[in-house]
Amino acid sequence: MKVIIYDKPDRSEDDVARAIESKFPGAVEVLKTAPRRIFLRVTRESFLDVCTYMKDELSFEHNSCVSPVDYIEHFTVVYHISSWANHIMAEVQVDLPRDDPTVDSITPLWGGADWHEREAFDLMGVVFKGHPDLRRIMLPEEFKFHPLRKDFQVGRRV
C-alpha cells in the first residue's frame, strides 16, 4: 500500500469559499476567511446539500467537531469540517429556532460525526434527522434534561 500525502494545499481559502458561495446563492453566507480557515453561515434547509457538495467536490474529508451553542433566543450548531487536501478547516454555522432544534444529520457523509451528534443530542437536545442511532451517550437513558442548555439549573437534584 502506498502512503497518502497531503503536503501542498490544492486550493486557496478564498477559492474554496467562493466556490461554495456561488454554488448555493442565497443559502450560504461567507462570514470571513483567514489563513487555513473559512467561516460560513448556512441555512438549515440547504445544509445537507452544502455538506454533500463540500465533501464530494471540494475534498472536505473529515468532520472535526460538532459544537452546539445555546444563544438563549436560538441554537447555533457549529460544524468544524476539515479538508486535509486543502489544509483548510471550515467553520459552518447553522442557526436553529429554539422551539424546533432540528437539523439534518451528517453522519451518512462522515462516519466520524456519529458520536458528536449523539453527544450534542444528549447534552444540548439538538435533534439530528437521519442519524442512524440517536440515543443518549454520556448520561443515562432516563435522564430528563439537557444540561448544557442555559436554562438548566446547575445544582438541582435530578
Partner 1 sequence: MADEMWVNMGPQHPFNHGLWNLRVRLDGETITAAEPIVGYLHRGWEKMVENRTYPQIIPLADRLCYGSSFSWSHLYCLAAERLFDIEIPERAKYIRTACLEIQRIISHLTWLMALGTDLGSYTILIWCLREREVFIDRMVDICGARMTYNYPRIGGVRNDLPPNFARDVIRSLDLFETRLQEIEALTDSNAAFRMRTVNIGNISAEKAINLGLTGPNLRGSGVELDLRRHEPYEVYDDMDFEICTATDGDAWSRYRVRVDEMRESDKIIRQCLDKMPEGPVRVKVPRCPPKGTVGCRVEDPRGESLMYIVSDGTDKPYRLKVRSPNYINLSAAPAMLLGYKISDVPSIMGVLDMCIGETDR
- Positions touching partner 1 (CB under 8 A) are 1-7, 36-37, 61-65, 67, 69-70, 78, 80, 84, 87, 89, 91, 110-116, 123, 137-139, 147-148, 152, 154
Closer to partner 1 by Cβ: residue 50 or 68: 68
Closer to partner 1 by Cβ: residue 63 or 105: 63
Give me the least distance between CB of 67 and partner 1, in Å please. 4
Give me the least distance between CB of 25 and partner 1, in Å please. 26
Task: Kindly state the cell numbers that stand for 126.
Answer: 439538538
For the range 59-65, what are the long-range contacts, defined as Cβ-Cβ under 8 Å and sequence gap of 24 or more? 59/10, 59/83, 59/84, 59/85, 59/86, 60/88, 60/90, 61/85, 62/110, 62/112, 63/106, 63/109, 63/110, 63/112, 63/113, 63/116, 64/89, 65/116
Q: Are 58 and 20 in contact (CB under 8 A)?
A: yes
Closer to partner 1 by Cβ: residue 43 or 64: 64
Give me the least distance between CB of 32 and partner 1, in Å please. 11
Give me the least distance between CB of 59 and partner 1, in Å please. 11
Q: Under DSSP, is residue 111 helix (H, G, I), strand (E, B) or coil? A: coil
Closer to partner 1 by Cβ: residue 26 or 154: 154
